[in-house]
Structures are given as C-alpha cells and as structure tokens.
C-alpha cells in the first residue's frame, strides 16, 4: 500500500518542480512588467492591497481552523479548508501580480529601527513565500495520494511556513499602508 501511494505521488513530481520554479520566476518577471509600457490605458489597481492583505489574513485563519479540524478527526472539513487555503493563496497571487502590473512599487518611509524590522519581515516573507510553494504542493499531493503518514510528516513543516507567510503578508501591508500614494 505504501509503495503504491508513493507511486501515485511520483506522477506529480514534475508538476511540483515546474510550478515551484515557474511561479516565483513568473511573479518576478511580471513584477517588472507595467501594462502602461505596452500601450494599455489601465488605471492603477490601488484598491487591491487591502484586499489581498485581507486574503492573507483569511488564509492564516483558515489554516489554523484546518489544523484544529484534523486534530479533532474531522478529515472532510480539514480537506475543504485546505483546498480553500490554496484557492485563497492563488487569489492573493493573482491580485498581487495585477496590482504590481498597474502600479508603481511603494517605498517604505519608516526610519530608524522600524525600518530594519520592516525589511527583516519583508525579506523573510519573500524568501519563505517562494520556499513554501513546493512544501504546499508536496503536502497536498501526499494527501490526495492517500499517503497520510508522509502527509503528516511534511505538514508539520508546511503549516508553520505557510502560516508565517500569510501573517507576515498582513504585517507588511499594515507597515507600508501609510506610505501608499
């Protein structure tokens, strides 16, 4: 049974690797693309940051509730919540890209020690948001492959990483919000 489940997992490995590389590269590339440079007359989507920050906050809440659900043995609710967390993360990503393709980046205006705190949170958020992609995908694949022992092992790593990324996304927004033009 375990070998069979691992075989099921293996068919997804190429997708996991591809998405783990393509998503960060696409975000980095699209971050630099401005639609106005290609003749599109689109107003900056300045209303998006509080929405996608809220989505990050909601993702954190959903992740916590999902862990509580599985600890209580409610696998069905856990599965639904985890699929919702993935969907929320995809929505966040699409809005984040749309915002940055239509708007100039905002510089952090804080000074002194708070500036170092902000950049520490921002840099760790960015690095871990890239690192968490394969963890989420592997964790998900192990669940849909019914390899629950291996799923649990990696979920113990994935959960705190993903939660940190979701929470720090909100913190970064709250810290930079006063400086939006």
Range of lowest pLDDT (65-69, 73-77, 102-106): 102-106
What's the whole-number mean pLDDT along residues 88-93? 96
The structure tokens listed for 44 are 């900056």
DSSP secondary structure code for residue 103 in this structure: S
The terminus-to-terminus CA distance of the chain in angstroms comes to 57
Domains of the chain: 2-179 (1.20.120)
Work out the mean pLDDT of the chain and round it to a whole number: 93
Q: At 24, which helix (H) or strand (E)? A: helix 13-32
What's the whole-number mean pLDDT along residues 152-172? 98
Q: How far apart are CA 60 and CA 42, in angstroms?
A: 32
Report percent pLDDT > 70 for the chain: 98
pLDDT confidence of residue 104: 86
pLDDT confidence of residue 2: 65
* Helix/strand/coil percentages in the chain, nearest 5: 80, 0, 20
Record the pTM: 0.91
Q: How far apart are CA 136 and CA 15, in angstroms?
A: 13
């Amino acid at each position: 049974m375990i070998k069979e489940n691992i075989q099921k997992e293996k068919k997804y490995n190429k997708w996991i690797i591809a998405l783990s590389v393509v998503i960060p590269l696409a975000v980095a590339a699209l971050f630099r693309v401005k639609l106005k440079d290609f003749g599109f007359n689109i107003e900056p989507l300045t209303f998006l940051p509080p929405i996608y920050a809220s989505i990050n906050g909601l993702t954190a809440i959903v992740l916590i509730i999902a862990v509580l659900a599985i600890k209580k043995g409610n696998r069905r609710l856990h599965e639904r919540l985890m699929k919702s967390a993935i969907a929320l993360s995809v929505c966040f990503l699409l809005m984040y890209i749309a915002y940055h393709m239509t708007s100039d980046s905002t510089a952090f205006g804080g000074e002194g020690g708070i500036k170092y705190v902000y950049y520490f949170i921002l840099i760790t958020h960015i690095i871990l948001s890239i690192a968490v992609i394969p963890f989420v995908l592997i964790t998900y694949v192990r669940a849909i492959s019914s390899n629950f022992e291996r799923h649990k092992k990696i979920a113990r790593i994935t959960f705190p990483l993903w939660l940190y990324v979701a929470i720090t996304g909100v913190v970064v927004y709250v810290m930079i919000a006063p400086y939006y033009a």
